[in-house]
Amino acid sequence: MPVYVAAKHGVVGPVPSYGKFLPEEGITMNAICPNIIRTNIAPNLFFDKVEARGHLTPMSGVLKAFTAMLEPSNISGEIFEIGPNGGYVRRDDPSTWTLKASKESMRSPRRISAVAQKSRYPDLSAKMHASILVTSLLTGFAVSANAIATISVKGAKFFTSDGDQFYVKGVAYQLVPDDPLINATQCKLDADLMEDLGANSIRVYHVDPTEDHKDCMDTFADKGIYLWLDLDTFTTQIEQSSPTWNETQRSAFEKVMDEFQQYDNTAGFFVGNEVLTTGNGSVAAPYVKEAARDLKAYRDQKNYRDIPVGYSAADIASLRPMLQNYLACSSNASENIDFYALNAYEWCGDSSYTTSGYSELQKNASTYNIPIFFSETGCNTVQPRTFGDQSAIFGDKMADTWSGSIIYEWIEEANNYGIVSYGAKVDATASGAPPDGYPRSGTPTPVSPDFSNLKSQWATLTPTGVKKSAYSPSLTAPACPELTEGVWEVNGNVALPTLGQKFDSSVRSSITAGATGASGVAASASASATKSGAASPAKEVKGMGVGLAGVLAGAVYWL
């Protein structure tokens, strides 16, 4: 089994001094590494071939030091990362060393781990865990043994970096309108209960990229919880009534990506949420696609991890399956979204796979070439909620096609969708009260029996899927839908709009190649359009009165 060795890393224990690598055998790098290695594996172990403290250390000396501690068969695991100013040092056999440049931008903290299966020292345990401590003076990031695997896309499925298929079991999490990921104490309280629920994901709709999210993201990572994050803000989202994609929007989206790409438990980004809700509104689809293309290009240009970029759609029957097909139909994969998600509320109470329309959703998705999952679900028109749709989503009928679901929502507020509360509703006019009267911080208390109903569902639904190594994608891109007046106003795979281009409904547009702005039959909105609360998209603020608009106006007084 190969040994992977990292500069700047010492096995757990103090690393008292540092030096620079010298180029050797054509390998050059800008990184620091320990001169003297003292560890709890072999205390006070020094190496003659490693140069004196503070001097330049030949690469061969460092490699010899690591090799002396652990034989080639002793290490299993992934490559140990060096950092943004270095690369990977990889040992394939006792005589061959190669350097691979790092693709990721690693900021504090990075987490990696390894297992020592055997030690050459007879007084040590035959099997032990060794965490790798990064002690870089240049980058200053620390490492823990509690790593969380990253999420990526292969074909129509999500996989962890461990090679397992990933199914989303999530909750919509937006305690406050602007950013729920900056209160470390609150994140800890909520993450503990989410772990008990069986959740592995949260969806957050709005954040402030200028804030520090490290503590909250670490807290969720420690509980095995991933983040699915909307990139837009209340002022930068794409609007179906007058769609545009401009520099201001793109820059704002990029800032959110910049902040959250550093965290291994960032699972995916949304470039839009329910932008299209009518047939005539489909003229906004090319703008959504252009936003995805630009953000994917930015991700790659910045050398970030390949965090999937997708879209969250309202489940509008008249837009099926045109929208999902359009967003994935380009022959150039760089123009397609990486995943498609659906906000669907049709399965209510004791509904069924057929009655709810889930059978049609499955039919439309059965040959879809990218991952698809429910980014919102959890109808509340029948109480209590039993979440019966979860058995279909994670069961034999859909699990081979769908990648899980996110329940709307975590916090109980006026819309009555919450599965936890933070106390009884109070008089909103009282001093210091939240604008809508619903407490939004403190110890979360499960809403009974909804919380336990969902917990019971998830506990019995554990699809294993397929190993990444055994999966060979065979599905191809769908055909791009043709224009149908008033139903789907985009004609095939037309050229995407340019940055700053606005849609003009008064003239025939090259963006839609046929859209004239004539009125058509507007599709009825899904139940998701009736939601209100801190997790709702900004377009739902219109006509909301004291709802989210009030929360926004008064947030400063009670956060």
The residues annotated as belonging to the active site are 274, 376
Kind plus residue range of the DSSP H or E element containing 186: helix 184-197
∠352-356-362 over CA atoms, to 5°?
A: 95
Give the separation between CA 421 and CA 447, rounded to whole angstroms: 7
Beta pairing, strands 113-116 & 128-134: antiparallel
Give the separation between CA 404 and CA 166, rounded to whole angstroms: 9
Preceding peptide of 321 cis, ω within 30°: yes
Could you tell me if 161 and 113 are in contact, meaning their C-beta atoms sit under 8 angstroms apart?
no
Contacts of 351 (CB under 8 A, 6+ apart): 388, 389
Beta pairing, strands 128-134 & 9-11: antiparallel
Backbone angles phi, psi at 226, to 5 degrees: -100, 160
Give the separation between CA 398 and CA 358, rounded to whole angstroms: 9
Could you tell me if 403 and 157 are in contact, meaning their C-beta atoms sit under 8 angstroms apart?
yes
Place of tokens 């250390």: 57
Phi-psi region of 533 (alpha: psi -120 to 50; beta: other; left: phi over 0): left
Place of tokens 């790092």: 102
- Of 408, 252, 402, 249, give the one whose Cα is nearest residue 339: 402
Contacts of 89 (CB under 8 A, 6+ apart): 4, 5, 6, 7, 63, 82, 97, 99
